[in-house]
């Protein structure tokens, strides 16, 4: 059993479990949307004193922070008990494309070039992670949601604004991948 | 412990996202390069099953565990905020290779430099709050 669970899970299992998580949250009387946590954390840190956007009763949203804590624990459980340490099985074409940008073939879940401890010594990598995070935080709040809130919850409810957001996600992702990556790496 | 159920659901989320490699920068690159079906399969399956589930929840007027009718708040109808915000988000998603959920799952995976991206995410969220009234929505 543990051995089976330790193998990479196929996409249809993953997709079904993610839909299940959305339904579970609905039955808990909440909605599935992760990026709201960033706003909640800002508010909990006192940002509401200066900026009205963060002036709300964040304590009512603690359930979402608990979900976040669970997500961190889930990552830890996966890496500690359910991992074979195998490299991510991406396609050969992607490996070749990424090699041309200076990334070695996968050795684990993430590239050492970006997420290894040595990347903390590189000003460029720190700037990329900081800048990337900034775009994620700004963009998700501007769009009113991220992949969970729009692509999963919003599309499931057939909300067309969520479709606009998801199209935006892809426009941005394609610009970064095809136009900016060759300039950055 | 009323909150335990949210922690447990979050744990399930963290496990499924990491075991299906959806938290991997490599998988996100593969997706944006259209070189594998994997990520499209994950999102596609979730959306198809999600649409069916929401349809039945509405049709049979299902209630949550406290007996309240499950309702869905319609997103405000406009284009600019979703398009511009979405593009900005997509730029960051492709650069870091993680959206907000996976940022934190990666933290549990002990990829410590992701903390820099999480910090960036908080700064970005704060900046949005500051600039909100000056942006087209």
pLDDT of residue A85: 85
Among candidates B32, B46, B82 on the partner chain, residue whose Cβ is nearest the Cβ of A19: B46
Q: For residue A135, how far is the Cα from the chain centroid?
A: 12
Is A137 within 8 Å of B125 when comparing Cβ atoms? yes
Domain assignment present for residue A70? The answer is: yes
pLDDT of residue A84: 86
Q: List the single best residue of A3, A168, A175 to mutate versus B (max B Cβ within 10 A).
A: A168
pLDDT of residue A7: 87
Residue A54 neighbours by CB distance under 10 Å: 22
Average pLDDT, whole number, for chain B? 97
Among candidates A21, A98, A125 on the partner chain, residue whose Cβ is nearest the Cβ of B13: A21
Give chain A positions within 8 Å (CB) of B36.
Answer: 90-91, 94
Domain count, chain A: 1
Residue with tokens 């290894």: A116
Domain assignment present for residue A155? The answer is: no
Is B26 within 8 Å of A88 when comparing Cβ atoms? yes
Domain assignment present for residue A48? The answer is: yes
Using a 10 angstrom Cβ sphere, with 0-12 exposed, 13-18 middle and 19 or more buried, the burial of residue B76 is exposed
pLDDT of residue A86: 87
Q: Is the pLDDT of residue B46 over 90?
A: yes
Domain assignment present for residue A24? The answer is: yes
Is A15 within 8 Å of B85 when comparing Cβ atoms? no
Among candidates B20, B72, B85 on the partner chain, residue whose Cβ is nearest the Cβ of A11: B20
Q: For residue A144, how far is the Cα from the chain centroid?
A: 15
Domain assignment present for residue A102? The answer is: no
Give chain A positions within 8 Å (CB) of B122.
Answer: 38, 41-42, 133, 137
pLDDT of residue B48: 98
Mean pLDDT of B27-40: 98
Quick one: residue A20, left, alpha or beta (phi over 0 = left, psi -120 to 50 = alpha)?
A: alpha
Q: How many beta-carbon contacts under 8 Å exist across A and B?
A: 494
Q: What is the pLDDT along chain A (185 residues), one digit of tens a residue?
A: 778 888 899 999 999 999 999 999 999 999 999 999 999 999 999 999 999 999 999 999 999 999 999 999 999 999 999 998 889 999 999 999 999 999 999 999 999 999 999 989 999 999 999 999 999 999 999 999 999 999 999 999 999 999 999 999 999 999 999 999 999 99
pLDDT of residue A179: 98
Chain A nearest-CA distance from B114, in A, is 7
Q: A51 in contact with B at a CB cutoff of 8 Å?
A: yes
Give the C-alpha separation, A58 to A69, whole Å: 16
- Look up the pTM and report it: 0.96
Residue A164 in tokens:
């606009």
pLDDT of residue B61: 97
Express as a percent the part of chain B with pLDDT over 90: 99
Q: A179 in contact with B at a CB cutoff of 8 Å?
A: no
Which structural domain, as residue segments, surrounds residue A4?
1-83
Q: A146 in contact with B at a CB cutoff of 8 Å?
A: yes
pLDDT of residue A1: 75
Give the C-alpha separation, B133 to B136, whole Å: 8
Whether the ipTM is more than 0.85: the answer is yes
Q: Is the pLDDT of residue B38 over 80?
A: yes
Give chain A positions within 8 Å (CB) of B60.
Answer: none
Domain assignment present for residue A139? The answer is: no
Mean pLDDT of B28-45: 97
Mean pLDDT of B6-10: 98
Among candidates A98, A137, A164 on the partner chain, residue whose Cβ is nearest the Cβ of B122: A137
| pLDDT tens track for A4-32 | 888 899 999 999 999 999 999 999 999 99
Is B106 within 8 Å of A75 when comparing Cβ atoms? yes
pLDDT of residue A2: 79
Domain assignment present for residue A33? The answer is: yes
| DSSP label at residue A107 | S
Domain assignment present for residue A176? The answer is: no
CA-closest candidate to residue A54, choices A65, A67, A66, A45: A45
């Amino acid at each position: 059993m543990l051995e089976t669970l330790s193998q990479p899970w196929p996409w249809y299992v993953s997709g079904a479990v993610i839909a299940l998580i959305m339904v579970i949250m609905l039955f808990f009387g909440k909605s599935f949307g992760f990026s709201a946590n960033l706003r909640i954390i800002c508010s909990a840190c006192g940002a509401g004193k200066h900026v009205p956007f963060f002036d709300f009763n964040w304590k009512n949203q603690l359930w979402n922070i608990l979900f976040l804590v669970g997500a961190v624990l889930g990552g830890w459980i996966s890496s500690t008990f359910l991992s074979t340490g195998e490299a991510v099985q991406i396609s050969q074409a992607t490996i070749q494309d990424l090699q041309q940008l200076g990334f070695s073939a996968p050795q684990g879940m993430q590239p050492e070039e970006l997420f290894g401890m040595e990347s903390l010594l590189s000003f460029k990598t720190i700037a990329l992670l900081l800048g990337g995070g900034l775009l994620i935080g700004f963009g998700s709040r501007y769009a009113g949601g991220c992949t969970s809130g729009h692509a999963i919850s919003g599309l499931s409810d057939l909300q067309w604004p969520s479709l606009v957001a998801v199209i935006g996600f892809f426009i941005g992702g394609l610009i970064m991948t095809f136009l900016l990556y060759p300039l950055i790496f | 412990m009323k909150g335990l159920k949210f922690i447990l659901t979050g744990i399930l989320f963290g496990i499924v996202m990491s075991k299906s490699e959806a938290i991997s920068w490599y998988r996100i690159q593969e997706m944006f390069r259209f070189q594998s079906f994997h990520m499209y399969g994950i999102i596609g399956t979730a959306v198809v099953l999600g649409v069916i589930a929401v349809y039945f929840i509405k049709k049979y007027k299902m209630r949550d565990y406290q007996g309240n009718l499950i309702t869905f708040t319609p997103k405000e109808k406009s284009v600019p905020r979703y398009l511009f915000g979405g593009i900005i988000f997509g730029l960051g998603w492709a650069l870091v290779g993680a959206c907000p959920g996976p940022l934190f799952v990666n933290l549990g995976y002990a990829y410590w430099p992701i903390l820099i991206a999480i910090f960036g995410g908080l700064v970005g969220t704060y900046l949005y709050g500051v600039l909100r009234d000056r942006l087209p929505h």
